[in-house]
Structure formats: C-alpha cells, structure tokens
C-alpha cells in the first residue's frame, strides 16, 4: 500500500501537496495541542513539553504510553505528569479560556453538566496514593464536568468549561493523608450535591465576558431545590430533568404530575431516537436506568406553570426563595410498543414556554445532555484513560487534564460533517490530505469539489466504518483521521528521504 500511495502522491502537483499540514483546518475546530499551548506552569519549557505530549497523543489517543512514545519521550511524559509544579487546575484553565473564545462566537451556549466515575483496577494489592477505594478491586475518583455546546441546533462542541475531580468521603475515611489531599484541592464535600452549583458558578465566571446567552442543562441528579432555587435567585437560565414528583402550590393539585395532567397536549409531535441501554452491573443503576432496545419514539408534549415551595426539611436553605415560579414540560410517549417501558421526561425550566416552538426548544436543549455521555466515552474508551499506569492521584489528574482536551478534540470531529455538510472539503482537510484520501479509499472516488461530508465519510471508511451500521460515530471518525495522519507522516518522511 505504501508504494501505491507514494506513486499516487508523486503524480499530484508539488505545489498542492508541499503545503500539506497535519492539523485539520476547519472553522472553530478544536485542537488539543493549541488549547494547551497557553498553560501557565511557571516554566516555558514545561509548556512546550506539554504541547508535544498532546500532539503525540492526539495522533494515537487510544495507544498505551509506551506504544505512543519512544523511550526518551516516555520518560519525559512521566516526569512531566509527576512534576509538582504542574497541576490539573492549570491545565483545565488553559482549555476553558479557549472555550470562552469559541463560545463568544455563538449566540446561545448550552452548558451541560454531569458526573462520571473514573476507576483503576487494583493489581496484587498495589495501591495508588491518594485515590479513593471504590470497591475491593478498584480505586479511583469522580469527575464532575461541564462542557459547552452551540445552542443553534448543531450541538457543536465548543470545549470544556469546568472540571471538578472529587471523591466520596467514605472512600478515604480511614486514610488521613488522602483525606487531607482531597480537602486541600476542594474535592471532598460535606454535601456532594454542592458540586452542581459550584460548577455552574465556575461556568458563569468563565463565560461572563463572551456575550453569549448561557443555558445550563442537567439530568435527574441535578434535581435539587438548592440548585434550581439558586439559579432562579441568580436569574440564570436552565433545563433540569426532574427525578421526583415535587410538591406544588395550587388549587386541586398537590404535585407536579397533577399540575401537568390538567393541561392539554399541544398540537404536534416529534420523533426522537433513543439509544440502546445495556443492563448495569449495579442494582441501583439497573432500577434507575433499566435496559432497553434502541428505537424511534413518537413524543407528545404539554406544559404547566407551577409554584414550587422551598422544602421545609431542607437544612441551611433560608437564603433561598420561599417559593419559585417555573415551567414544567412533559415529553411523553403515549403509545409505547408492547413490552417496552413508556418514555417520559419531566423537565423543569426557567423558560416560559408560551407555544409548541418554545416547548420543543426546551426538549432539544435537554436532549443535548447526551453529548456529555459521548464525551465521557471519549475519555474512557477513545483515550483509554482508565488504563493509564500512574502510581498516584497527582500524575493521574495531570494526565486527566490532557485527556480532557484530547477527548474534546475527538468529540468535535464528529460534528464537523453535520455543521456544514455541503461546505467544500478543503474546509475540513488540506488538499494534501484529500489527495491521500483518494489513494487510501479509492472506492469513494473523491473529486476536487468534494464536500466536507463526503470527505469525512471517506475518513470514516478509513476508520473501519460500514454503511450498514448507520452514521459514523466520533470513535470511528477519530480512528480514520488518526490513520490519515499516520499516512501523511509517512508521506512527509518519504519526501524528505528522496531529497537526501
């Protein structure tokens, strides 16, 4: 293949190919190395090393570190991650600055918040320092992340807004040193529900000067009067899925479901595709999120304006409003197939929702929440973070900071074909990369005027995508792009060898 590729490339115009670049040039594209280039660790040499680490890992994000780096490079990675001058918060801060720059170019910015567990297997009882004990065979911690998406319907990832690693207090209860470590870095809560409002506060600070309208989105775990009461008090916009049927004030109604059931369904439905859900290993998770088949669901909608009183038993809540007026949107599958559980969402929002268009906008904002699930998958599966072999929390957190940037770059790649599918392929790839694609994936027959969508479908094929599997996901696209970059590296090396 290499000889055929080289023969093809040599036939191309030298003026066209000699200007080939390795980084995709696409409007508002996220590049991990560029986002990390402004990290301030007090030493310019460390920043240069971090950029090189990101560039190398971006080419093969799933590879183990010994496979991705030569011996000297590997030693440099371990020294960098263990350096006490390097910190997770500084690595994240560099990314959030770039995110704010991108958010300033869109009118509406959705900030999606959620939590994931990051766990590392214990091998021969070899404990890693300052990690929490999750089970008898695993250590780790949790990551509460906030990511920004364009609110124009494209859901284009704009970057990381906040990242908060933390541990459960009981996981470090018998390890005083680890407890002090997490207390010092703000990763140990008296009330873990506080992390939601903390992340909102950080997000608002990061995006304060962007001029973009910010809407916060959270799933059922964000159903807390402490959260949405504070959001109302601070006049922030939000969409939160309810986990409980809260009490409301009003004639003839006691709870939110009563209030919604008294209102008629709006004229108009929408077909929504729900993903497959495999059974969880944990009983509590299986009850909250039972297994299901992926299918298309026809949803109906109605809304009600409700008054929610402050819970009388909520401790330390006197600073919150005694009652708040909000809108509840119900999205429900009215005729589920036999044997399938009815899909139903109750969404609490600051939006007034005067008509169907307003309701559908709120529903679509909530559906954007699934992007953060893909982001977590990119961290764990696409970048193999939980397989990293560092001995303690400090280097693992530093590696996480880099991985967050790499995962966002991978996630954003998938959105490019959807944002402007008919744009010229040259907005997605350089001409040299397009020429390489023609050689590597001849069955696509890419032409000089190929579109961005056509080019990315060729990249998906290079990554192993099959048409019968539906639209390509971020992982197969990123794998194809990685292979394209590898081919380009070979081409550059062979071109340089010819000149010697």
User: Distance between alpha carbon 325 and the CA centroid of its chain, in Å?
Assistant: 31
Tokens 């970059």: give the residue.
485
Q: With the C-alpha atoms ordered 446, 473, 385, 387, is the resulting torsion angle positive or negative?
A: negative
pLDDT recorded at residue 42: 84
Q: Which helix (H) or strand (E) holds 456?
A: helix 452-462
DSSP codes, 57-114? HHHSTTS-HHHHS-HHHHHHHHHHHH-TT--HHHHHHHHHHHHHHHHTTSSEEEEEEE
Q: What are phi and psi of 127, to 5 degrees?
A: -75, 145
**pLDDT, tens digit only, all 500 positions of the chain:** 333 333 333 333 222 333 333 333 333 468 888 899 989 888 899 999 999 999 999 888 888 999 999 999 999 999 999 999 999 999 999 999 999 999 999 999 999 999 999 999 987 767 899 999 888 889 999 999 999 999 988 889 999 999 999 999 888 888 899 999 999 999 999 889 999 999 999 999 999 999 999 999 999 999 999 999 999 999 999 999 999 999 999 888 999 999 999 999 999 898 988 877 776 665 555 566 667 777 889 999 999 999 999 988 766 677 889 999 999 999 999 888 888 888 999 999 999 999 999 999 999 999 999 999 999 999 999 899 999 999 999 999 999 999 999 999 888 876 766 666 777 887 767 788 888 888 898 888 888 788 888 888 888 898 888 877 777 876 788 778 878 877 887 887 888 888 77
pLDDT recorded at residue 252: 85
First to last CA, the chain: 23
Whole-prediction pTM: 0.85
3-state secondary structure of 335: coil
Q: Which helix (H) or strand (E) holds 28?
A: none
Rounded-to-integer distance, Cα 329 and Cα 67, Å: 50
User: Distance between alpha carbon 213 and the CA centroid of its chain, in Å?
Assistant: 20
Candidates 219, 118, 94, 228; CA nearest to 166 is: 118
Rounded-to-integer distance, Cα 325 and Cα 32, Å: 42
3-state secondary structure of 129: strand
Rounded-to-integer distance, Cα 353 and Cα 360, Å: 9
Tokens 């962007």: give the residue.
210
pLDDT recorded at residue 18: 31
Joined tokens for residue 161: 């807004």
Residue partners of 448: CB distance under 8 A and separation at least 6:
none
Q: What are phi and psi of 60, to 5 degrees?
A: -145, 70
CB 137 within 8 A of CB 123: no
CB 85 within 8 A of CB 46: yes
pLDDT recorded at residue 10: 33
pLDDT recorded at residue 97: 95
Joined tokens for residue 471: 């639209």
SS (H, E, C) the chain: CHHHHHHHHHHCCHHHHCCCCCCCCCCCCCCHHHHHCCCCCCCHHHHHHHHHHHHHHHHCCCCCHHHHCCHHHHHHHHHHHHCCCCCHHHHHHHHHHHHHHHHCCCCEEEEEEEEEEEEEECCCCCCCECCEEEECCEEEEEEEEEEEEECCCCCCEEEEEEEEEECCHHHHCCCHHHHHHHHHCCCCCCCCCHHHHHHHHHHHHHCCCCCCEEEEEECHHHCCHHHHHHHHHCCCEEEEECCCCCECECCCCCEHHHHHHCCCCCCCCEEEEECCECCCCCHHHHHHCCCECCEEEEEEEEEEEEEEECCCCCCCCCCCCCEEEEEEEEEEECCCCCCCCCCEEEEEECCCCCCHHHHHHHHHHHHCCHHHHHHHHHHHHHCCHHHCCCCEHHHHHHHHHHHHHHHHHHHHHHHHHHHCCCCEHHHCCCHHHHHHHHHHCHHHCCCCCCEHHHHHHHHHHHCCCCHHHCCCCHHHHHHHHHHHHHHHHHHHHHHHHHHC
Joined tokens for residue 144: 């509460």
pLDDT recorded at residue 285: 55
Rounded-to-integer distance, Cα 89 and Cα 229, Å: 28
């Amino acid at each position: 293949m290499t000889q055929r590729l080289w023969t093809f490339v040599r036939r191309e115009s030298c003026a066209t190919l000699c200007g080939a670049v390795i980084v995709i040039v696409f409007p508002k594209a996220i590049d991990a190395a560029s986002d990390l280039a402004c990290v301030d660790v007090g030493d310019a040499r460390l920043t240069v090393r971090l950029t090189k680490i990101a560039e190398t890992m971006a080419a093969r994000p799933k590879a183990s570190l010994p496979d991705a780096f030569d011996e000297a490079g590997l030693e440099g990675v371990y020294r960098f991650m263990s350096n006490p001058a390097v910190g997770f918060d500084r690595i994240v801060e560099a990314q959030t600055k770039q995110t704010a720059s991108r958010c300033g170019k869109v009118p509406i910015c959705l900030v999606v918040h959620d939590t994931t567990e990051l766990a590392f297997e214990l091998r021969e009882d070899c404990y890693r320092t300052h990690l929490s004990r999750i089970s008898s065979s695993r250590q780790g911690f949790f990551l509460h992340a906030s990511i920004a998406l364009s609110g124009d319907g494209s859901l284009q990832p704009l970057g990381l807004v906040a990242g908060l690693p933390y541990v459960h207090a009981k996981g470090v209860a018998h390890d005083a040193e680890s407890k002090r470590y997490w207390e010092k870095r703000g990763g140990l809560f008296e009330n873990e529900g506080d992390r939601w409002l903390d992340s909102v506060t950080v997000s608002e600070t990061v995006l304060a000067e962007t001029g973009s309208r910010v809407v916060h989105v959270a799933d059922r775990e964000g159903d807390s009067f402490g959260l949405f009461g504070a959001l109302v008090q601070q006049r922030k916009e939000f969409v939160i899925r309810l986990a409980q049927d809260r009490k409301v004030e009003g004639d003839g109604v006691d709870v939110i479901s009563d209030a919604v059931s008294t209102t008629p369904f709006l004229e108009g439905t929408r077909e929504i595709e729900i993903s497959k859900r495999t059974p969880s290993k944990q009983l509590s998770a299986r009850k909250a999120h039972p297994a299901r088949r992926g299918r298309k669901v026809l949803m109906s909608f109605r809304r009600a304006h409700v008054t929610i009183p402050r819970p009388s038993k909520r401790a330390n809540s006197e600073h919150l409003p005694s009652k708040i007026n909000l809108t509840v949107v119900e999205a429900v599958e009215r005729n589920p197939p036999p044997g399938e559980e009815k899909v139903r969402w109750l969404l609490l929002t600051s939006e007034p929702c005067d008509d169907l268009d307003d309701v559908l906008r709120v529903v679509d904002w909530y559906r954007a929440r699934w992007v953060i699930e893909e982001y977590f998958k990119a961290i764990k599966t696409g970048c193999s973070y939980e397989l990293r072999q560092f001995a303690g929390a400090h280097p693992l957190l530093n590696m996480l900071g880099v991985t967050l940037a790499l995962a966002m770059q991978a996630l954003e790649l998938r959105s490019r074909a959807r944002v402007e599918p008919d744009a010229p392929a040259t907005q997605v790839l350089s001409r040299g990369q397009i020429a390489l694609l023609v050689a590597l994936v001849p069955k696509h027959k890419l032409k000089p005027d190929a579109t961005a969508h056509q080019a990315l479908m060729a990249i998906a094929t290079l990554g192993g995508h099959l048409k019968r599997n539906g639209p390509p996901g971020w992982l197969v696209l990123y794998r194809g792009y990685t292979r394209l970059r590898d081919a380009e590296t070979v081409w550059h090396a062979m071109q340089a060898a010819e000149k010697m």
